[in-house]
């Protein structure tokens, strides 16, 4: 039996990386992101000093607001024994998400939900460490009923019931050993975004594409949205480097209205694009459906979900056929428990999940999610691919392993953890990196 412990305290840190200085992460809507996270460390009475590390992704200003929201959740964890949490983790998640006063700030959306993700992710990290397993393996090893107990089915039982979910997972479990062997031998397919940031020059993009091709990447994503002429020029450059057989996707990051998106993508259709990501408001289900129908004759799919804030929104996108590709975000949803509910619905409805990643630690988190999806929910790898961006992995205790255009499953116990040195150096605004930038005149306190 795995050891257990009681949560005794916590530390919450505002962590920011100055990625805006070099244009990393830039897109048509978010031109100067400083990749950041609100980071929580759950302290316990475990005799080995085990702690749970969790975070939620932000892009600079406003991270302090998420930090405050995390602190609002922490009193509901203090004094809790892990045996009160993990056996009915779905119920515990529901209790936090529906705390009678905090839920008024959402419910289950916005800053309060980002904060919940950090807390829940920290609890998963702690559980993995207590079991001495990476989180993906921890979930895969559970019995079907125990997996269902992780999920809050509130508002989604009209798509799939708890009983049907148990039966579904039992069926999937029958091929688990084959899938596990395949995952360990071939990894999980990935595509790369970090060659196509909007703020990069054409020379930078060309150089990074050439580097990506030499490393064996077969799928690239490029940011678009502000100028048809400039985007056609950028995509012509991309095709001149990668050729016609390499898959290219584009991402507008919510830049357009519905009619504008349809017209814009017609103007880019000559470049043989795999999907358009976030073409319009992330809340506009009808708009996404209209765009999807209009682009279907062009062979361009619609992908979205990075800013889809809860399982109920995903339910509507999925049921109404408003997307071709479901892109969960490991921190926009309320942590892994809610992610599992979306994986389950997407599998039931036959929609492939291709997670959003990049940022600070999102790749480190979604590698677990794609492993879980492939082993327990999804039909196969043929129409699935996971995003990768080549930034900030050196700051993690166990950085991701990506090669041959594939993710390779993590082996370390837990979920994801930033090193103590990086937490200290990049804490905002008093970490050494930020103090140096302020002294050099490269940053003004916000």
Which residues are known catalytic residues? Answer: 223, 356
Tokens standing for residue 196:
């196509």
Residue 361's nearest CA partner among 287, 414, 312 is 414
Angle between helices 228-242 and 202-214 (to 10 degrees): 30
Whether 330 and 373 have beta carbons less than 8 Å apart is answered as no
Is the C-alpha dihedral spanning 20, 56, 310, 274 positive or negative?
Answer: positive
SS3 65: helix
Nearest to 294 by CA among 274, 264, 320: 264
In contact, 356 and 376? CB cutoff 8 Å: no
What's the token pair of residue 333?
A: 């949803």
d(CA 232, CA 237): 9
For residue 427, the cross-strand partners are 15
Q: How many helices (H) and strands (E) does the chain have?
A: 16, 12
C-alpha span between 106 and 112 (Å, rounded): 6
d(CA 235, CA 249): 10
Among residues 363, 356, 358, the alpha carbon closest in space to that of 332 is found at: 356
Structure tokens at 212: 């990506």
Task: Find out whether 125 and 133 touch, Cβ atoms under 8 Å.
Answer: no
């Amino acid at each position: 039996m795995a050891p257990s412990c009681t949560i005794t305290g916590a530390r919450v840190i505002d962590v920011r990386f100055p990625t805006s200085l070099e244009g990393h992460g830039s897109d048509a809507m978010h031109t100067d992101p400083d990749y950041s996270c609100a980071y929580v460390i759950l302290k316990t009475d475990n005799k080995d000093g085990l702690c749970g590390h969790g975070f939620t992704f932000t892009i600079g200003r406003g991270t302090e607001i998420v930090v405050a929201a995390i602190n609002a959740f922490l009193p509901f964890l203090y004094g809790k024994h892990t045996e009160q949490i993990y056996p009915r983790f779905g119920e515990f998640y529901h209790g936090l998400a529906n705390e009678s006063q905090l839920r008024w700030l959402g419910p289950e959306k916005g800053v309060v939900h980002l904060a919940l993700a950090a807390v829940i992710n920290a609890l998963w990290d702690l559980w993995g460490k207590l079991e001495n397993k990476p989180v993906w393996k921890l979930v895969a090893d559970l019995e079907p009923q125990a997996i269902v107990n992780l999920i809050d089915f509130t508002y989604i039982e009209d798509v799939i019931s708890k009983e049907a979910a148990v039966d579904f997972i039992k069926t999937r479990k029958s091929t688990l050993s084959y899938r596990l062997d395949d995952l360990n031998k071939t990894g999980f397919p990935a595509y790369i975004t970090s060659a196509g940031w909007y703020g990069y020059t054409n020379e930078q993009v060309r150089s990074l594409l050439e580097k990506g091709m030499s490393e064996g990447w077969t799928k690239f994503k490029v940011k678009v949205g502000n100028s048809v002429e400039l985007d056609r020029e950028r995509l012509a450059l991309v095709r001149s480097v990668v050729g016609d057989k390499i898959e290219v996707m584009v991402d507008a990051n919510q830049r357009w209205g519905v009619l504008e998106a349809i017209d814009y993508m017609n103007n880019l259709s000559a470049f043989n694009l795999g999907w358009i990501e976030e073409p319009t408001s992330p809340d506009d289900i009808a708009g996404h459906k209209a765009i999807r129908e209009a682009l279907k004759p062009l062979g361009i799919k619609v992908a979205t979900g990075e800013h889809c804030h809860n399982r109920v929104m995903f339910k509507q996108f999925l049921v109404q056929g408003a997307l071709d590709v479901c892109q969960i975000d490991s921190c926009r949803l309320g942590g892994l428990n809610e992610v599992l509910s979306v994986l389950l619905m997407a599998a039931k409805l036959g929609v492939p999940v291709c997670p959003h990643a990049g940022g600070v630690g999102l790749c480190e988190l979604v590698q677990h999610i794609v492993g879980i999806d492939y082993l327990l929910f999804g039909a196969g790898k043929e129409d699935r691919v996971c995003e990768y961006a080549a930034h900030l992995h050196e700051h993690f205790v166990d950085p991701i392993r990506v090669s041959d255009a594939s993710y390779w499953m993590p082996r370390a116990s837990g979920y994801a953890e930033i090193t103590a040195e990086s937490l200290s150096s990049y804490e905002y605004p008093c970490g050494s990196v930020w103090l140096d930038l302020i002294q050099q005149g490269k940053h003004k306190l916000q």
